[in-house]
Amino acid sequence: MVGGVVAARPAMGQDGAAMASPATALARVPTTAAARRSAPAIRRRFGESVTDYAYVAGDLRRIGILAGSLVVLLAALSFIIR
């Protein structure tokens, strides 16, 4: 912090290289439909996707436990109400 101003650090990618600012990244985006169609699609490897979505399995397990407990609760309440 210099003189009440916080100096911005450049964003770092996963490989440690500095990433382009959002304004610079937007300047490189093709604006015409023809340019977008001709640009090659960037595909990620399966291993990279798995690490990005590692939390999904835990979330699905938590949702399943919650749903199962609610079904058991409803079944118990149906016996109590009769």
Tell me, yes or no, whether 71 lies in a domain.
yes
pLDDT reported for residue 48: 80
Tell me, yes or no, whether 77 lies in a domain.
yes
Residue 48 Cα distances to 21, 53, 54, 56, 72, angstroms: 23, 9, 10, 14, 38
**Reported confidence tier of residue 73, pLDDT bands at 50, 70, 90:** very high
pLDDT reported for residue 40: 75
Closest by CA to 21, choosing from 34, 31, 12, is 12
**pLDDT exceeds cutoff 90 at 25:** no
Tell me, yes or no, whether 46 lies in a domain.
yes
Q: Looking at residues 12-38, what average pLDDT do you find?
A: 59
Domain that holds residue 76: 22-81
Q: pLDDT tens-digit profile of 5-15?
A: 555 555 555 56
Tell me, yes or no, whether 58 lies in a domain.
yes
Tell me, yes or no, whether 5 lies in a domain.
no
Of residues 61 and 50, the one with the higher pLDDT is 61
Domain count, the chain: 1
